[in-house]
Amino acid sequence: MKNIFALAAILFTLNSLAQPYALGEDKYIKEFYNISLSEQQAYKWLDHLCNEIGPRPAGSLNAEQAVSWAEEELKKLDLDSVWLQEVDVPHWVRGTETAKVKEFVKEYELAVTALGGSVGTPADGIFAEVVEVTSFDDLEKLGEDKIKGKIVFYNIPMDPTNISTGFSYGQAGRQRWAGAMEASKFGAVAVLTRSLTLKPDNYPHTGSMSYGDAKVKIPAAALGIQSADFLHEKLQQNKGLKIELVLGCRSLERTTSYNVIGEIKGSEKPEEVVVVGGHLDSWDLGTGAQDDGAGSVQSMEVLYLFKKMNYKPKRTHRVVLFMNEEFGLDGAKAYAQYTKDNNINHVIALESDGGSGTPRGFSIDANMATVEAIREYKPLLSPFGLHEYTKGGSGADINQLKSENTILIGYRPDNQRYFDYHHAYTDRFEIINARELELGAAGMAALLYLLDKYEMKPIH
């Protein structure tokens, strides 16, 4: 047996030495990081986007300013082409919003914010009893008898014990997305939902919701965590508690906006397209620094770094800044339609929409053989904190490009802090760490460089 063990060891050693990349790639890749960390181009762009332009909900004047600005900045990069793609978007506006607990002669103000897409209340508000539920089963059990004419308060916390905060977000997310739809069926007059966050502060977190098949559209708003806990406590003492809810939000006419697109034409295979992108729109409460200003400027920086390094990609590399990810994925859908109409061959799409945390790795939406092939580049990228190469989802925007001929990849920064700020007032430039943002941009560039140079394709 001894000889066979020795042979096995040798074979495996040889195998592990047969890297699918040339010697010296480690040094080349480090250059992406040197430029990114010294110049901090993405961080400078993000400063402008957040602090000079500000929040960018689809249909807003700010969103249009962001479009013009991004187009202008991409033009400065001396790309082969930069253009705008028309996108039809909704235009929802927030207005005044208040929620007051009325208890005997006392009144308590709650931190509240309308969910995106909610209808408003009448101008003088809705005044109704509150009924708390901690699951959709609760809702079913209570039924029309106990719900009709009332405000349903969904108080379903995110599970703190999952290591992935995104997983907990998914678990608790239904109250936001479907809470109004389901409560409406039992005759509720409005819903309040616990904010989807793990940080017990009192900034409410908005996000999109759907009325689905509900016949009556009822107003829906999120409460800050402290307000949700306060309301829960109050309800222990006084089951008949009433709330006065005023939401001034409403939908205006749909309008025209744009995806911003820029590309470097491939030197050898221009018909094979690699997309890198984030979404340019944001919610209106903060300034969309992590969601998804970060992903937008990181994607822009990928092409910036290619130009700076004078790397001429074999394939066409295109940055797409999608419009209205938050509220209907209109930009992503328009881009996918354009792709289909023009029979564009996307070999790879990479999205950054997981915030600006320190790098962790990539989630790859492809078959296992393809995931394993990409994982072979890990030795080159793990020195930069990119250890995780998992098979999984990618991103909401590029997911519209899903096909077996396209490798979809989501950049995955650390997400422990992500939901602290997500869709809230606190998603502002101040929470961004320049180095973490830049490490992400350089890592995305480095991965795409490797996949271009070694002509990675989906393995069938």
**Residues 345, 358, 367, 399: which binds a second copy (CB under 8 A)?**
358
Q: Render 241-309 in DSSP notation, one character per residue.
A: -EEEEEE--EEEEEEEEEEEEEEE--SSEEEEEEEEEEES---SSS--IIIIIHHHHHHHHHHHHHHHT
Q: Is 97 a catalytic residue?
A: no
- Least spacing, CB of residue 12 vs a second copy, in Å: 6
Peptide bond into 145 cis (omega under 30): no
Number of residues forming the site for a second copy (CB under 8 A): 34
CB 363 within 8 A of CB 399: no
Binding to a second copy, residues 37-96 (CB under 8 A): 37-38
What's the CA gap between 33 and 358, in Å, rounded?
A: 14
2 vs 215, beta carbon nearer a second copy? 2
Binding mask 388-407 for a second copy (x = CB under 8 A): x-------------------
**Residues 163, 215, 237, 341: which binds a second copy (CB under 8 A)?**
163
**Residues 325, 420, 427, 452: which binds a second copy (CB under 8 A)?**
420
Phi/psi of residue 153, nearest 5 degrees:
-110, 105
38 vs 343, beta carbon nearer a second copy? 38
- Least spacing, CB of residue 414 vs a second copy, in Å: 5
Binding to a second copy, residues 173-202 (CB under 8 A): 198-199
CB 224 within 8 A of CB 201: yes
3 vs 310, beta carbon nearer a second copy? 3
**Residues 106, 122, 161, 236: which binds a second copy (CB under 8 A)?**
161
DSSP secondary structure letter of residue 208: B
**Residues 82, 260, 439, 448: which binds a second copy (CB under 8 A)?**
439
Question: Would you count residue 160 as binding a second copy (CB under 8 A)?
Answer: yes
Q: How many CA atoms lie within 13 A of 252 on its CB side?
A: 13
Collect all residues with Cβ–Cβ distance below 8 Å to 113 and sequence separation of at least 6: 94, 97, 204, 205, 206, 221, 222, 285
338 vs 384, beta carbon nearer a second copy? 384
160 vs 240, beta carbon nearer a second copy? 160
CB 354 within 8 A of CB 410: yes
Question: Would you count residue 369 as binding a second copy (CB under 8 A)?
Answer: no
115 vs 198, beta carbon nearer a second copy? 198
Question: Would you count residue 8 as binding a second copy (CB under 8 A)?
Answer: yes
CB 89 within 8 A of CB 322: no
**Residues 416, 454, 457, 459: which binds a second copy (CB under 8 A)?**
416
Catalytic residue of the set 25, 182, 325, 436: 325
Element (H, E) at 199: none
How far are the Cα atoms of 152, 227, 385 from residue 422, in angstroms, in the given order? 23, 17, 23
* 3-state SS class at 326: coil
* 3-state SS class at 411: strand
> Which residues participate in catalysis according to the annotation?
325
Residue numbers of the site for a second copy (CB under 8 A)?
Answer: 4-5, 7-8, 11-12, 33-34, 37-38, 160-161, 163, 165, 198-199, 357-358, 360, 382-385, 387-388, 414, 416-417, 420, 433-436, 439
